[in-house]
Structure 1
Amino acid sequence: MNHWLQLLLEQIRETGWLQWVAVFFGVAEVLLAKRNNVLLYPAGLIGTLLSIVLLLEVKLYAETLLNIYYIVISIYGWWFWAKKRNKPAVPITYADKKDWLITLLITFGGWLVLYLVLKNFTPSNVPVWDAFVSASAWAGTWLLTRRKIENWLVLNLSNLFAVPLLFYKNLPLFALLTLFLFVVAIFSYFDWKKIYQQQGKTNSSP
């Protein structure tokens, strides 16, 4: 245990300022998402752009692609969440069968495609691991943009595998951020369920 703690502290001491800034915006993004606040997207865009630079340095290519995807999906999500004139904001709902089908296709289809790309076209030494973390995160983010409660469950599946991967790649702050996101996602899941119930009471009131 002491060995791992010393290794973590050593990694943190050697962490550059860019990783600190990226983590700051990552924390801001998840806290805003927990509060169901649309400002999560501009915060996420800044953190994502910085993360791309850092991930390329350690040759996590699928994670880099994931962050490029985050940029695209964040712009889409920002637009999707925004209030349109004379229309209410998109409500929080549970995923239906169609949503789950798309989620599974993104997860396992994306995993296979990313693995083949990493295996055959990059020097990645963790193609299976890197590919799964990214593909499952793609799926969870898609559910988030659709305001589906289950997005937190799928994102936490990705987080669960991402933490040891990031430690292995000597990105301790990113690993700790992901661990933090894992905990926040648990609370966010229950917060969104409460919001969903409140929406039902509002809609049913005379």
Structure 2
Amino acid sequence: MPVSVLDVILWPFTTTALTFAGATTSWGEVAGFVTGALCVWLVAKQNPLNWPIGILNNLAFLVLFATSGLFADSGLQVVYIALALYGWWAWLRGGAEHSALHVSRTTRAQWQWLLAAGVAGTLLLVWVLTSFTTSTVPWADSVTTVLSLLATWGQTRKKVECWWLWIAADVIYVPLYAYKDLWLTAILYVGFMALCVLGLRNWTKALRDDLRDELVVA
């Protein structure tokens, strides 16, 4: 039987890489694990290379989640790719006079916008998933999807509070992926939480350093 392009794409996600405690892990999940961990570590270090690494991670997770019935998370990867391209540019040229972007805080008006978008986005996604897909976890899938989108927006603009949004999403992601038998990904997201704490600490320090430098110049 001839091998199709789809078969080639899906091969890493249907081929077992390892088995632990009766749970199997595909090569696609391994790829998502490695690129995901590297991406978040680079974000915590404010290294713009996190964006191209993140795009590779998005492609791996797009297929992995689609084959696991996490349709909102799968579709989210397409949005992530678009945001990654914007974030890559913003980190390098999105500051004053097209300079590198600096860490800042989320304003009250931005929080109000994020809250409204979060509630509306969650309700819309729940409706879509319950009406048009076979999702068995519409609420968890929708909440994590929306939190991740809001966190990614904050990440593209180097808003220090984006780390709190990532932590909130990861707290839900870990049991969700375990429920879907994506154990390696669940473990990855435990690691993500630790990296989020590192990122929060590093970005907060960078923000304090910038504010101190501004006071010195003034």
Among candidates 129, 154, 164, match of residue 165 of structure 2:
154
User: 1:69 maps to which residue?
Assistant: 79
Alignment of 1:24-39 (within 5 A): 24-39=34-49
CA deviation vs aligned residue, 1:54-96 (integer Å, no higher than 9, x gap) = 1010110111122111111111111111137964311111100
Question: 2:72 is paired with a residue of what secondary structure?
Answer: helix
The letter for the 1-side match of 2:164 is L
Secondary structure of 1:205's partner?
helix
TM-score (norm 1): 0.91
Greater mean deviation of Cα atoms: 24-33 or 80-89: 80-89
Unaligned ranges ≥5, structure 1 = 1-6
Map of 1:157-172 to 2, 5 A cutoff? 157-172=168-183
Equivalent positions of 1:106-145 (< 5 A) are 106-145=117-156
Pick the aligned partner of 2:69 from 59, 72, 92: 59
What is the aligned residue count?
198
C-alpha deviation, 1:174, in angstroms: 1.0
Which structure has more strand as a fraction of its residues? 2
Amino acid at match of 1:94: R
What is the CA–CA distance in structure 2 between the aligned matches of 1:86 and 1:137, rounded to whole Å? 29
Amino acid at match of 1:25: T
Deviates more, 1:66-75 or 1:148-157: 66-75
Check whether the contact 1:103–1:140 (CA below 8 A) recurs between aligned residues: no
Q: Could you tell me how far apart the structure 1 residues matched to 2:117 and 2:50 are? A: 23
Compared CA separation, residues 150 and 8, structure 1 to 2 (3 A): farther
Q: Match for residue 106 of structure 2?
A: 95
Identity percentage over the alignment?
27
CA offsets, 1:154-182, max 9 Å, x none? 11111111110001111111111111111
Letter in 2 for 1:15: T
Once structures 1 and 2 are overlaid, which stretch shifts more, 116-125 or 14-23? 14-23
TM-score (norm 2): 0.86
| CA-CA distance at 1:202 after TM superposition | 2.0
| Matched-pair contact (CA < 8 Å) for 2:147–2:169 | yes
